[in-house]
Amino acid sequence: MEKKIVFSGVQPSGALTIGNYIGALRNFGELQDEFDCNYCIVDMHAITVPQVPKNLRKNTLDVLSMYMACGIDPEKSTLFVQSHVPAHAELSWVLNTITYMGQLNRMTQFKEKSKKSDENLNAGLFTYPVLMAADILLYQTDFVPVGEDQKQHLELARDLAERFNNKYSDTFVVPEPLIKEFGARIMSLQDPTSKMSKSDSDENAFILLQDNKDKISKKIKRAVTDSVGIVNYSDDQPGIKNLINIYSVLSGKEINDIVDMYSGKGYGVFKSELAEVVVEALDPIQTKYREYLDSKDYLEKIYTEGAQKAEAKARKTLRKVYKKIGFISR
């Protein structure tokens, strides 16, 4: 039996948060044995918002190091940089021609990001989900492990796959999202009604995977809670609920057990023990991350070989697509 195919991507748009880890990266390594996994650093997506070139270069190697520190093994998975495989841009163009403006207009992430953009809106931000569909469809992907915020984009990828298949005959596998029940949406520590994001202007809103013990403790101590004063798992206490989710995922303890453990204890004790849980979970990741980041030659070898492997798979699909739509081969 051939292995089913997995694809996912992370933008090199800044240091990664525990939201990225819990919602996405943590799951990537687990899938490697059962599936044929492809993990991409989506630098072409990152430039849909302003980037400083020097930082983009650094962040790309950063995400690559973090991928491996979180357990992705380049011997098992294909690990590569999106801009190294031109087929992504090429398929994206073809898919643009079967995407309706109305569909893109409805994308929540576009609406949110365009509200924040004070300069002229760029067309890349609008067609961002089409590039993402190209990423996924090029590899004949069966499953896409992502956080909850990517669900709508996944729907579009499915829709485009089906539309193309109906129009030109079976070409793409229709991908399915893999979204975990817990932790698929980690919220901001400063505003538990909005998602934790690495691009938040308030750095107390997120914990970075590379934050030290001191920063982690401070940020958790400052996390917004409520005046109830009881460690409860309830929608009426979204701040505490979010902290319990983080606690549960990173410690492996059940929600109910955590609530029991802290019954009769205040938020202070809960928060300081949560800080310990986070520090302990991140410590081995940070050690490996620093080792990888220091091995520039090794990183170069990984992304060079990754691009070759990815290129071969992607070309195969793109060739089929070009043929079906009537492009003559060269």
Out of ligand AMP, ligand TRP, none, which partner does residue 289 contact, by CB within 5 to 8 A per kind?
Answer: none
Query: HSE (CB half, 13 Å, CA atoms) of 214?
Result: 0
> Is residue 188 near ligand TRP by the rule CB under 6 A?
no
Binding ligand TRP by CB under 6 A: which of 6, 11, 160, 302? 11
Q: Is 198 a catalytic residue?
A: yes
Q: Judged by CB, which is closer to ligand AMP: 28, or 164?
A: 28
> Is residue 313 near ligand TRP by the rule CB under 6 A?
no
> Is residue 310 near ligand TRP by the rule CB under 6 A?
no
- 53's tokens: 């070139």
Q: Annotated catalytic residue: which of 116, 167, 180, 198?
A: 198
Q: Could you tell me the CA-to-CA distances from 258 to 100, 104, 216, 238, 253 in Å, in that order?
A: 47, 41, 20, 16, 7
Out of ligand AMP, ligand TRP, none, which partner does residue 135 contact, by CB within 5 to 8 A per kind?
Answer: ligand TRP
Cα 17 to Cα 246: distance, rounded to the nearest angstrom: 12
> Is residue 144 near ligand AMP by the rule CB under 6 A?
no
Q: Judged by CB, which is closer to ligand AMP: 158, or 195?
A: 195
CB 180 within 8 A of CB 27: yes
For residue 132, the minimal CB distance to ligand TRP (Å) is 4
Binding piece for ligand TRP, criterion CB under 6 A, among 98-106, 143-151, 217-225, 234-242: 143-151
> Is residue 239 near ligand AMP by the rule CB under 6 A?
no
Q: Is 113 a catalytic residue?
A: yes
Q: Is 253 a catalytic residue?
A: no
Query: What b/e sequence results for 248-270 when a residue is b if at least 16 CB atoms lie within 10 Å of its CB, and e otherwise?
Result: bbbbeeeeeebbeebeeeebeeb
Binding ligand TRP by CB under 6 A: which of 43, 135, 200, 211? 135
Q: Could you tell me the CA-to-CA distances from 177 to 29, 110, 146, 239, 248 in Å, in that order?
A: 16, 20, 7, 27, 23
Cα 144 to Cα 329: distance, rounded to the nearest angstrom: 31
> Is residue 150 near ligand AMP by the rule CB under 6 A?
yes
Q: What is the sign of the dihedral through the CA atoms of 163, 169, 96 and 325?
A: negative
Residues labelled as active-site residues: 113, 195, 198
Binding residues (CB under 6 A) for ligand TRP: these are 7-9, 11, 42, 45, 132, 135-136, 144, 146, 150, 153
